[in-house]
Structure 1
Amino acid sequence: MSGNQITNQNGEWWRNGVIYQIYPRSFCDANGDGIGDLPGICQKLDYVKSLGVDAIWISPFFKSPMADFGYDVSDYRDVDPIFGNLEDFDRVIEGAHERGIRVIIDQILSHTSDQHPWFEESRQNRENPKADWYVWADAKEDGSAPNNWMSNFGGSAWRWCTRRRQYYLTNFLKEQPDLNLHIPDVQEQLLADLRFWLDRGVDGFRLDAINHAFHNQSLQDNPARPVKLDKNGLPPVNSYEYQWHIHDKSQPENLVFLQRVRALMEEYPGTMTVGEVGDDNTHKIMAEYTTDQRLHMAYSFDLLSEDCSAQFLRDTLEKNRQVIEKGWPCWSISNHDVPRSFSRWNRGFERETAMARAPLFLLMQLMLRGSVCLYQGEELGLPEADVAFEDLQDPYGINLWPEFKGRDGCRTPMPWFNGGEINAGFSKVKPWLPVADEHYHLAVSVQEDDQHSMLNRFRDLLQWHSNLNPALATAAQTIIETGNDLMVFERTSDKEGYFVALNLGSDAASFTLPAQYQGSEDITPEGFGGSVSGNTVELPVAGARVFRNS
């Protein structure tokens, strides 16, 4: 094991921890080619430390043709030249660890690039040593695809290969063929690749689309799903939503493989895994995947949705509580795949109110049972960028334009300076995506010295959270049904209890403190409006109160 790993007296540092996601293409460009890189991350580690997070998750930087911007890997053990080299990565590890920050990296175990040497060999014929390393299937008698499975990005999940006269499975882009993890040699190779990065000192892995790792070998058709019409009475834009995904993912064999991953992680004390699990029944999958023998924690797309109403949150969190039991969630409301939460969760609110609501959502995440994942720029209150069609890079958006604009709007460059610097200090040349005009006045340099800025509100909240009793990490959670726009829940341990109330509505609201919290300590962080008179609590729009008894 590398001596670079942080000395860790608490092997479960990740419980209730805060992870900061860095999308390297858009974080900081150190070499002046318009694309962020690993040296750029090194330059900004002091900034990351100032946020008060426990770890960074770095999105893919591996060698790749970049059809899906690194999620199509062509070499699991090397850095793509646009991001730097292995020595640059080692410097990121060293610099982060010196600052007490752990480093988590993406691992994509369900598929590779079609330019990976494994696939180039596999596609040659049906007899080569890697012929069965990917999911191949014969055409039906009429030449059509083996079954009705759909790609996450729309259209059939099957692509025709003229050399083998067979179809290969692609759950995402056609350039991302699915590995066949039913083959023991494939599993052994992937575990060896994980070990390669553990030996370099990484503290954990974010496992991309991990429930896609296995498919049902029967290749049965997925059943049709009742079509859900949108507000305009139209069916879904993406054909993926037209079926229940019973056979193409979340297979029982995956649980056995995850036990092998966990056994490997146990050889490196203090390391962890967090899985991305998108499924028709995400709570069930999260429960199955996050046991003491499998993943340490998992996150789904539940809180990455458009709906952020108090009722939706109550229902979602209560379902999770009922199912996950001892498993562990990681709560994220923004990432590189969905519109930014500042825009998505503030529809219908004026900007001033939206600015007040953003810290409210962070407070909620920090107080929920689970860990927290923040996405770069959330701490600045960045809204979703409106990227013109001619500037789009995301194939997902290009394919489904204009009904779906893709993921570029949340991936635009991080704004560091606003004082004459071109591209907000991200790069000295034209960046791979344009810096949004509305992001300049939200740059880090603008917010640093403003005590009441979004950036400093986030820092203050993370510091406040770090000072709470560590027992909060495993305290039980009870969601309280209010029937209105108040999001109210309780966290209780043997030593103390916390009562949290958040006003997510557009009007002021009031409530009476439960008897067990009457006279308890009000520990609400600064900046949240509200007042307490006797046992009655008044909350303005975006107001919150946190009470503690012991």
Structure 2
Amino acid sequence: MANNQEWWRGAVIYQVYPRSFFDSNNDGIGDLPGVTEKMDYIASLGVDAIWLSPFFTSPMKDFGYDVSDYCDVDPIFGSLVDFDQLIEAAHRHGLKVMIDQVLNHSSDQHPWFAESRKSHDNAKADWYVWSDANADGTVPNNWLSVFGGPAWHWDSRRRQYYLHNFLDSQPDLNFHNPDVVNALLETVEFWLKRGVDGFRLDTANYYYHDLELRNNPPKEHVVEGSIGVRLDNPYAYQLHIYDKSRPENIAFLKKLRHLLDQYPDTTTVGEVGCDFALETMAAYTQGNDKLHMCYSFDLLTHDSSMNHIRKTMETIEASLGDGWPCWSTGNHDVERVATRWGKNHNPVAKSKIYMAMLLTLRGSVCLYQGEELGLPEAELSFDQLVDPFGIAFWPEFKGRDGCRTPIPWKNELLGGFTQSHQPWLPIAKEQRPLAVSVQEGNRHSVLHAYRDFLHVRRNHPELRHGEIEFLYHNDTTLTFLRSYQNKRLYVAINTSHQDIILPVELTLSALTLPEAIQSGYVDGSTVVLPPFSILLAAVLD
């Protein structure tokens, strides 16, 4: 078993999107006291930690990912006292607390930016990435924003362009300035001193840019459906080698790790999105001197085939060394996995089997709130959208609102999320029958399957810490071994609606799984996998 300082190895981290979790004060927006009020529920799942999406002071142009004060709580979410009470309640339940750190950019309403844009020679003049226009007034280079259009915005006060990889209200901080790095590390330490156990690092490979501002080359082959590629967004047509994933990033990650090492038992998980994400994950987590964990978007695509799963796992394993991965099939930025992978066919069975697959792979795991209920993507009309990303690309891309609608606690109009106030996003009618109160009473529900399987994972260190060796796969079937301290566990997964029979040369003793989970079985020298089932078996030889 990993020691307590490495509690994060094999940990299951539950992502809470506070706006949509539980509204404690009936204003239609979820808040920190709401999270505290539901701490018993979170603990009952059997997870190890909570990841809180941003709750910092913000104008909410990007719903908290545009920070105007890194060291305070936005009043819509509560106060620092509320945060301290949340930490205390989580720790009392044996849960670690990780918070989102949005270090790449701030809000354009942050005092740092307000000063920076005043002139070319003020104390914070180069705290952001500024550049003169080309001779003809055009943008400095061809870099593009993830949210569409040029990654440069003209500021009439400085008469220069500033860089923004996301919204133009989210100017990029200049990490080449050591004062910026020191200031950001101070904000990180502010929360460490308040007792947080770690950080999820938003866009962790975006921090540095090329000082020469060289143009990105075109991508030779643009294939829709591959990781992060949508042909309606020009961002997909570039190879992003100068605007992110720069080699200078490594030195900053080492400084960040040095700070965390002064606070025992703390950890980091970095979000990595780029063309070479798996290799970047390996580089960022190797050597025990940078990030503890990283996750990529490789399991956040529409490809749910076991071919893709095996290829992804073997690619990272080949270069990982002593690094450590973290995997997620859903978060606040992508279509819910029950819709994306389930395609609304056999939704309960598919939610269970993809959960079981995720929880048996090597690495730590992030679970997004609502996955434990098998929630589908909410269907919203254009007039219900609030996400600027979705509004800009409608109707080809419907944005991120569909995965951010409030959690249904009860099967009623307001979902038990709030008492009477209209929620900030609608309570999805297709999600209400999957409410927590409904699933609590159904022993075969997705909720009970999650709880049961998380208990199985917790009691089998092979699944939390073991090595992985793949044995067989086709489009819908995957088998592999997890090995730890002279014990081997055989895992076989069937994600199809057909019975699968596989020959096996190992001597196996099947584990008895809880009734909420469809289990395969061993029949002599074969493994029998009913539709949407998993077999866990101890290897006896």
Q: Taking structure 2 as the reference length, what is the TM-score of the superposition?
A: 0.96
Find the partner of 2:426 among 402, 416, 434: 434
* Counterpart among 271, 277, 283 of residue 276 in structure 1: 271
Helix, strand or coil for the counterpart of 2:249? helix
Question: Per the alignment, do residues 49 and 235 of structure 1 end up closer, same or farther by CA in structure 2, a change over 3 Å counting?
Answer: closer
SS state at 2:64 partner = coil
Secondary structure of 2:332's counterpart equals coil
In the other structure, the counterpart of 1:377 is 370
Instruction: Tell me the residue number matched to 1:316.
Output: 312
Distance 2:360 2:446 in 1: 19
**Counterpart residue number, 1:339:** 335
Structure 2: distance between partners of 1:365 and 1:440:
25
Work out which of the residue numbers 259, 263, 274 in structure 2 matches 1:264.
259
1:3-22 alignment, distance < 5 Å: 10-22=4-16
**Does structure 2 conserve the Cα–Cα contact (< 8 Å) formed by 1:512 and 1:535?**
yes
**Structure 1 residue 229 displacement after superposition:** 5.0
CA contact (8 A) 2:22 2:407 kept: yes
* 1:17-32 equivalences in 2 (<5 Å): 17-32=11-26
Amino acid at match of 2:433: H
Aligned with 1:536 (options 516, 523, 526): 526
Partner of 2:451: 459
2:367 matched to 1:367? Answer: no
Q: Unpaired runs of 5+ in structure 1?
A: 1-7
Residues 203 and 270 in structure 2, CA contact (< 8 A), matched pair in contact too = yes
> 1:225-271: CA deviations, max 9, x gaps?
1353548xx97011110100000001111100100100110111000
Does the 8 A contact of 2:496 with 2:532 survive in 1? yes
The answer (yes or no) to whether the contact 2:493–2:534 under 8 Å persists in 1 is yes
Partner of 1:495: 486
CA distance in 2, matches of 1:206, 1:230: 28
The structural deviation recorded for 1:485 is 2.2
For residues 4 and 416 of structure 2, the distance between their equivalents in structure 1, rounded to whole angstroms, comes to 39
Q: State the one-letter code of the partner of 1:217.
A: L
In structure 2, how many angstroms separate the alpha carbons of the residues matched to 1:287 and 1:229?
25
- By how many angstroms is 1:425 displaced? 3.5
Q: How far, CA to CA, are the matches of 1:228 and 1:9 in structure 2?
A: 44
Q: Classify 1:427/1:309 alpha carbon distance in 2 versus 1 (closer, same or farther; 3 Å).
A: farther
Q: What's 1:422 paired with?
A: 414
**Alignment correspondent of 2:281:** 286
Indicate the residue corresponding to 1:3 in structure 2. none
CA contact (8 A) 1:524 1:544 kept: no
> Aligned AA for 1:482?
H
Q: How does 1:87-486 map to 2 (within 5 A)?
A: 87-228=81-222, 230=224, 236-291=231-286, 292-347=288-343, 350=345, 353-418=346-411, 420=412, 422-468=414-460, 470=461, 472-486=463-477
- Partner of 2:536 in structure 1? 546
The 3-state SS of whatever aligns with 2:88 is: helix
Deviations 1:118-157 (A, max 9, x none): 0010001100000000000111111111100011111110
- Structure 1 217/431 Cα, relative in aligned 2: closer, same or farther at 3 Å? same
SS at match of 1:302: coil
Q: Could you list the per-position Cα deviations for residues 306-333 of structure 1 after superposition, in whole angstroms to 9, with x for gaps in the alignment?
A: 0001111111111111121211111100
- For the structure 1 residues 424 and 235, does the alpha-carbon distance in structure 2 shift closer, same or farther, using more than 3 Å as the test? closer
Tell me, in whole angstroms, the C-alpha distance in 2 between the residues paired with 1:228 and 1:222: 15
Q: Read off the aligned partner of 2:482 and give its amino acid letter.
A: R
Cα offset, 1:549, TM superposition: 2.5
For the residues of structure 1 that align with 2:256 and 2:334, how far apart are their CA atoms? 28
- How far is the alpha carbon of 1:535 from its aligned partner? 1.3
Distance 1:91 1:494, change over 3 A: closer
TM-score, scaled relative to structure 1 = 0.94
**Which letter does structure 1 place at the counterpart of 2:301?**
S
Residues 336 and 410 in structure 1, CA contact (< 8 A), matched pair in contact too: yes
Match of 2:41 in 1: 47
Identity over the aligned pairs, expressed in percent?
A: 53
Partner Cα distance (1:459, 1:474) in 2? 20
Which residue matches 1:4?
Answer: none
CA distances 1:320-348 after superposition (whole Å, capped 9, x unpaired): 1112121111110010000000000112x
Structure 1 distance, partners of 2:415, 2:47, is 26
State the Cα distance separating 1:548 from its structure 2 match: 1.4
Secondary structure of the residue aligned to 1:426 is: coil
Q: CA RMSD in A?
A: 1.6
The answer to whether the Cα contact below 8 Å between 2:208 and 2:243 also exists between their aligned partners in 1 is yes
Q: Distance in 2 between matches of 1:391 and 1:87?
A: 33
Q: Give the deviation of 1:531 after TM superposition.
A: 3.2
- How many residues get paired? 534
Question: What letter corresponds to residue 62 of structure 1 in structure 2?
Answer: F
Q: Is the 8 A contact 2:68 2:106 kept in 1?
A: yes
- Judge conservation of contact 2:354–2:495 (CA < 8 Å) in 1: no
- Is contact 1:28-1:427 (8 Å) kept? no
Of 405-414 and 442-451, deviating more is 442-451
Distance 2:133 2:374 in 1: 50
> C-alpha displacement at 1:524, in angstroms?
4.5
Instruction: Give the whole-Å Cα distance in 2 for the aligned partners of 1:345 and 1:235.
Output: 17
- 1:520 corresponds to which of 509, 514, 533: 509
Distance in 2 of aligned mates of 1:115 and 1:159: 15
SS in 1 for 2:299: helix
1:416 and 1:235, CA in 2 relative to 1: closer, same or farther beyond 3 A? closer
| Amino acid aligned to 1:387 | L
- Amino acid in structure 1 at the alignment position of 2:279: K
1:35 match: 29
What's the CA shift for 1:9? Answer: 5.8
Question: Residues 330, 520 of structure 1: CA spacing in aligned structure 2 closer, same or farther, 3 A cutoff?
Answer: same
Q: In 1, are the aligned partners of 2:98 and 2:200 still within 8 Å (CA)?
A: yes
Pick closer, same or farther for the CA change 1:377–1:484 going to 2, 3 Å: closer
Cα 1:184–1:230 change in 2 (3 A) is closer
Q: Contact 1:18–1:371 (CA<8 Å) still a contact in 2?
A: yes
